[in-house]
Amino acid sequence: MQHSNLEIDNQPAMSSFYFLGIGGTAMASVAVALSHAGHAISGSDTQLYPPMSTYLDDHNIRYFTGFSDKNLISASPDIVVVGNAISRGNPELEYALNYHLELLSMPELVRRHLICDNTSIVVAGTHGKTTTTSLVAWLLEHGGLKPGFLVGGIPENFSIGCRASGRSEDGFFITEGDEYDTAFFDKRSKFLLYRPDIAIINNIEFDHADIFDSLEDIKRSFRLFVNLIPENGTLLVNGDDKVALEIASKAFCRVERFGMTTESDWSARNISTDSETSTFDLVYQGVLLGTISVPLFGNYNIMNALAAIAAATRCGLPFEAIMRAMPLFKRPKRRMEIVGSYPGNITLIEDFAHHPTAIRVTLEALGDLYAGRRIVTCFEPRSNTTTRNIFQQELAECFDPASIVVMGKVHRPERYAPEKSLDTQQLKDELEQKGKTVFLAGKNAASYPYDIVEFLQPLLREGDVVVLLSNGSFGNLKNLLTESFQKNP
């Protein structure tokens, strides 16, 4: 069996790529983008389900279900792209190593084949990356710049998560820059491979406890990221975040702040909200530029909008073009996404929030948007940080806007000793002391998450807003609740 040892450069020839772990959102999106660019694409993963299986099928991507060295033998790729969830012991990875196949991480592939010589815009931070990246991409798209992008979700204005730049020269590529590690052979944060010319830091908090030991550990990665920005580049930083400002203070490039305070270069004044949009006056260095309307809610989303506006301006878009594009933006999926409205004026919403700060600001925004209506929150402790007791106290404080809190079962609790795991009973006790109705789901594994549906059915009242918060599937709870609301008006 012959394998090419193809040399990749900034002007790559057509190649065949095999995505090991193709079911991940970013991996699948990049695979489709490279397929559209003319490369031969195949891959494999464990059992794939919609929406990613549908996404790959719709774009005629060949993939294998399950891992076997026979898959690689059949595909005979030039390059194997290794997802960061793949580790030693995977039979396909072991085969690739044994036979010296060329391995590439997904971020390195993006840098070489998609960012290339484009102006690179990288959106980083603990929260808000997906919305901000989607918004920057939309502003440039509406402005006629035909940007390429990689978003860690599906931006509704495009219906694809990744594409190459549409300009042959002087193009732009916007990347959602995750601080998570790159691959089993490269433990750097992904954003360190994206060669930023314009960088956004939305905020910096402790997260990803499986790979970072402390906030200081995370700050170290962000310092390296800032140090990559060239002298003629720009760093846009949250002027209301002390940690982000500390990191930005070491930059060698132009630094501009965005925030709610008058000290920021980019700021929002006179914020108002109705059922459809948020409106604010945009001020740059003390000068009123005009009024912006955008279908986003909550001050944290106003911050995302400010960052995106600042980035689009640095790309050369005039304010008038930005102002026209903003009302036409569509939120990415699972970002305060309205699943549906049902008899009894019940509204079901899904959001990706899983960090205590994200939970708090999301619920606060929903409380303002649906003033006078009860907020019923279903939260699944799933991430490597919230399944531990690192945020035990913070989780007890972030559900204040909710009247009813359903706590999904802790994802894979066997990973940690009991003294290191999230104590959901303690969390229940503390929330009940605040007057909330709390349910701990999953005590009987066989009935989960049907037990959540059964718990909520008799408690829901007319006008309730039911919110699902998880960075996973929540056991298909969204569909189960939808069926329940439709059957039991």
Query: Who wins on pLDDT, 239 or 415?
Result: 239
Can you tell me the distance from the alpha carbon of 313 to that of 198, in angstroms, rounded to the nearest whole number? 11
The first and second tokens of residue 99, run together, are 């036979």
The CB density around residue 437, as the number of other CB atoms within 10 Å, is 14
Q: At 318, is the pLDDT very low, low, confident or very high (cuts 50, 70, 90)?
A: very high
Can you tell me the distance from the alpha carbon of 199 to that of 262, in angstroms, rounded to the nearest whole number? 22
Q: What percent of the chain has pLDDT over 90?
A: 61
Phi, psi of 126 (to 5 degrees): -70, -40
pLDDT tens column, 65-75: 999 999 999 99
Q: At what angle do helices 299-314 and 356-369 cross, to 10 degrees?
A: 100
Report pLDDT for 8.
39
Average pLDDT over residues 150-157: 86
Can you tell me the distance from the alpha carbon of 215 to that of 241, in angstroms, rounded to the nearest whole number? 14
Global confidence as pTM: 0.84
SS3 per residue for 5-66: CCCCCCCCCCCEEEEECCCCHHHHHHHHHHHHCCCEEEEEECCCCCCHHHHHHHCCCEEEEC
Residue 298 has pLDDT above 50, yes or no: yes
- Kindly report the average pLDDT of the chain as a whole number: 89
Q: How far is CA 333 from CA 151, 161, 375, 487, in A?
A: 11, 11, 20, 25
Report pLDDT for 1.
32
Residue 179 has pLDDT above 50, yes or no: yes
146-150, 226-230, 355-359, 451-455, range with the lowest pLDDT: 355-359
66-80, 329-343, 366-380, 451-465, range with the lowest pLDDT: 329-343
Which domains can be identified in the chain, with CATH numbers? 16-108 (3.40.50.720), 117-328 (3.40.1190.10), 337-487 (3.90.190.20)
Which of 276, 204, 286 lies closest to 243, judged by CA?
204
Between strands 266-273 and 181-183, the pairing is unpaired
The first and second tokens of residue 242, run together, are 């002390």
Report pLDDT for 170.
87
Residue 13 has pLDDT above 70, yes or no: no
Greatest alpha-carbon span in the chain = 68
Query: Who wins on pLDDT, 12 or 377?
Result: 377
Which of 151, 149, 156, 141 lies closest to 119, judged by CA?
149
69 alpha carbon, distance to own chain's centre: 32
DSSP class per residue in 302-356: HHHHHHHHHHHHHTT--HHHHHHHGGG--PPTTSSEEEEEETTTEEEEEE---SH
3-class secondary-structure state, position 311: helix
Average pLDDT over residues 373-402: 86
pLDDT tens column, 328-365: 998 777 777 888 888 888 899 898 877 888 888 889 88
pLDDT tens column, 25-65: 899 999 999 999 999 999 999 988 777 888 899 999 999 99
